[in-house]
Amino acid sequence: LPTKDSGNGAARRRPTIKMIAKLAKVAPSTVSRAINDEPSISEETRRRITRIADRMGFVPNVIARGLVTRRTNIVALILGVTRNPFYLEMIPVISAQLATRGMPLMIFRMSGQDRVEDTLATLARHQVSGCLIAAASLTPEAAAMCSRFNIPIVMINRLAEVQASSVNCNNREAGEQVGTLLRQEGRTRLAYVGGEGNAVTFQDSEREAGFARAAKAAGLAVPQRFAGAYSYEGGLAVAERLLATQRSFDGIFVANDIMAFGVIDGLRRAGIAIPRDVSVVGFDDLPEARWSAYDLTTVRQPIVTIVDRALSILDRHLSEEAAPAESVIVRAELIRRGTTL
């Protein structure tokens, strides 16, 4: 009787080193060595084998290889719950840098009430070699799992609550620079717009602290803090509250660009001119910051450098079992554009 899929036919099996070995009349181990360019193989054998392999369209099964070498070289990116496009933009950069190392990227995006721990179990299941965590924090439980599963991690843009490698910007200094800039412009009534509730990130508080320090150094009052969701809509809502305040601010530092756009649009709707009436500064330097509708003065997070550092650290953890955790601070640069004087 014909089987059910006799029409198309069961997919032809992909060629294996065993099949090549038979054709080349050598042992599978010899094929393996030839394929992997081991120096022990004679030039002639290697050529014969690779020619046969190419002719058959052989592609090594790295999953089988990974099973024996205990190393998949897969890097996972865990993305926390965020609506900040900054983290989405990191993806192509990570992907490109990993591609040069021949390491594939797996994406795990947390949603709703997911706990990092659950995501980590999935990583372990898939035997990923290393893990980047962005826009999420590392709970002690999660850190414990990583070390139990022996998955090295590096936190991006977030300090671990626990001993772990990380790469961050010099948030505090950058915040201070922003304060200094506003002061130089003659701004005296400063406000800071950050996240709300317990969603406030460490970077957020650092930026605020630096900003406050500059204010203090200039003899100004501590900048008043406004809180909103880290999103355009969050910024819009904050703008309303800024406007409702008795005090009128003339210098506003917003924790990230995505909120800053909302703040700007909210203020403009009310007829406020930027930067004439008020200066606004963001953080991240999203592509939209250059758009002439905003032309936002902001602090650039050097994505390429950040990713480069993160992967260097990961490389080290992958090659040295006991490489110590390291924290790298990357310099963020203040970019002056049209929302300041």
Interacting partner of 302 out of a copy of itself, DNA, none (Cβ under 5 to 8 A depending on kind): none
Interacting partner of 159 out of DNA, a copy of itself, none (Cβ under 5 to 8 A depending on kind): none
126 binds DNA (CB under 7 A): no
Backbone dihedral angles phi then psi of residue 156, each to the nearest 5 degrees: -110, 125
Secondary structure of residue 33 in the 3-state scheme: helix
Give the number of residues in contact with DNA, rule: CB under 7 A: 32
11 binds DNA (CB under 7 A): no
Interacting partner of 158 out of DNA, a copy of itself, none (Cβ under 5 to 8 A depending on kind): none
Q: What angle do CA 113, 142, 170 make, to 5 degrees?
A: 90
Among 23, 50, 60, 159, which residue sits at the site for DNA (rule: CB under 7 A)? 60
Q: What angle do CA 152, 165, 318 make, to 5 degrees?
A: 35
69 binds DNA (CB under 7 A): yes
With CA atoms as reference, report the closest residue to 203 among 164, 151, 255: 255
> Shortest Cβ distance from residue 72 to DNA (Å)?
12
Among 68, 244, 273, 322, which residue sits at the site for DNA (rule: CB under 7 A)? 68
Q: Are 310 and 131 in contact (CB under 8 A)?
A: no
Helices and strands in the chain, H and E counts = 12, 12
* Contact footprint for a copy of itself (CB under 8 A): 5, 7-8, 10-12, 14, 57, 59-64, 66-67, 72, 74, 79, 85, 88-89, 91-92, 95-96, 99, 104-109, 111, 121-122, 124-127, 148-150, 232, 236, 261-262, 264-265, 268-269, 287-288, 290-294, 320-322
Q: Which two tokens stand for residue 275?
A: 């930067």
Other residues' Cβ atoms within 10 Å of the Cβ of residue 270: 10
Return d(Cα 27, Cα 287) in angstroms, integer. 55
Binding site for DNA (CB under 7 A): 13-14, 16-18, 25-30, 32-33, 35-36, 39-46, 58, 60-61, 64-65, 67-70
